[in-house]
């Protein structure tokens, strides 16, 4: 009676080659470009559908379609983020293959591509994800997919996030579309209060859709502007207003102390001070010790 031998075989994980990874990256790039063009066509058609809804006075349907249009725009932005990242990875394929661990200087690109592979409609990205997993292991893929190390592109996370647009923003976009297509649609007066300001035209007072609370850098509201209002005191603005006397402005021409401003009007160390008549170092002064001959630009 022979001895039964138990053969425990460990499945061999095939390490991808540089050619395989590069091929899938190139296919993914072409597919993303195709999807991007389809999204652009879809947006064009949706705009016409929205215009027809407004003409038929179906505002609720128009808002739903506008929300879908904004989602399409977000996908286009996500594709635009992924395209250069894939190009970087394509140029660094040999580096990826020869590294035993995921290269630190490519983590952001790889994490972003892996994160997007399960969130955009591109099968080639998912296949690329599998190739990377066979190289660096499933633990790394799980970390990248969950963005544990916070290396995924923040703009891509925002664009691929599932979030419906607010009613106020939908109304803003609808009103902009009406202006673009020259549709004389009259919005009900009870909802106009939801639209911040009049957005009838760009760059005019009251026409900014991001005015007021929509503008995180508003100059007069809630100290949200890190550079302060034009005459903003010594608050968040490190350079203060023009006549700030608190020494916070290193370029303050009116600093009477002359300590922080090397070019202050009252500072004798200013080689270009036109008011310093005793200064022989100013080649552009109107006078040099009463002699005009030294000024070639008089």
- Per-residue pLDDT tens over the stretch 12-39: 557 788 999 999 999 999 999 999 999 9
Reported for 163-169, long-range contacts at CB under 8 A and 24+ positions apart, including other chains, are 164/67, 165/66, 165/67, 165/70, 167/63, 167/191, 167/194, 168/194, 168/195, 168/196, 169/70
pTM of structure: 0.61
Q: Which CATH number fits domain 18-160: 1.10.3720.10, 1.10.730.10, 3.40.250.10, 1.20.1260.60?
A: 1.20.1260.60
- The phi, psi pair for 104, rounded to 5°, reads -60, -35
Domain ranges for the chain, please list them.
Answer: 18-160
pLDDT above 50 for 52 = yes
Each residue's pLDDT tens digit, 256-293 = 444 444 444 444 444 444 444 444 444 444 444 445 45
Share of the chain above pLDDT 90, in %: 50
């Amino acid at each position: 009676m022979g001895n039964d031998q138990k053969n425990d075989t460990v499945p061999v994980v095939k390490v991808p080659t540089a050619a395989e990874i590069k091929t899938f990256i190139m296919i993914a790039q072409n597919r993303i470009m195709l999807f991007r063009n389809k999204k652009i066509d879809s947006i064009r058609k949706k705009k016409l559908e929205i215009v027809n809804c407004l003409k038929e006075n179906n505002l609720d349907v128009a808002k739903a379609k506008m929300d879908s249009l904004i989602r399409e725009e977000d996908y286009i932005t996500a594709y635009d983020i992924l395209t250069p990242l894939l190009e970087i990875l394509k140029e660094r394929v040999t580096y990826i293959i020869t590294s035993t661990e995921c290269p630190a200087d490519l983590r952001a690109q790889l994490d972003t591509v892996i994160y997007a592979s399960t969130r955009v409609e591109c099968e080639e990205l998912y296949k690329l994800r599998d190739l990377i997993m066979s190289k660096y292991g499933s633990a790394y893929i799980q970390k990248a997919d969950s963005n544990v190390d916070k290396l995924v592109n923040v703009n891509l996370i925002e664009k691929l996030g599932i979030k419906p647009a607010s009613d106020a923003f939908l109304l803003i976009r609808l009103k902009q579309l009406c202006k673009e297509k020259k549709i004389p649609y009259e919005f009900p007066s009870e909802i106009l209060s939801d639209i911040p300001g009049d957005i009838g035209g760009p760059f005019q007072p009251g026409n900014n859709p991001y005015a007021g609370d929509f503008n995180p850098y508003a100059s007069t509201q809630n100290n949200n502007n890190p550079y302060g209002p034009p005459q903003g005191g010594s608050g968040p603005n490190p350079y203060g207003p023009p006549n700030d006397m608190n020494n916070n402005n290193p370029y303050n021409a009116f600093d009477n102390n002359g300590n922080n401003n090397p070019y202050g009007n009252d500072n004798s160390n200013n080689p270009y001070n036109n008011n310093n008549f005793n200064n022989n170092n100013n080649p552009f002064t109107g006078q040099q010790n009463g002699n005009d001959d030294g000024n070639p630009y008089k």
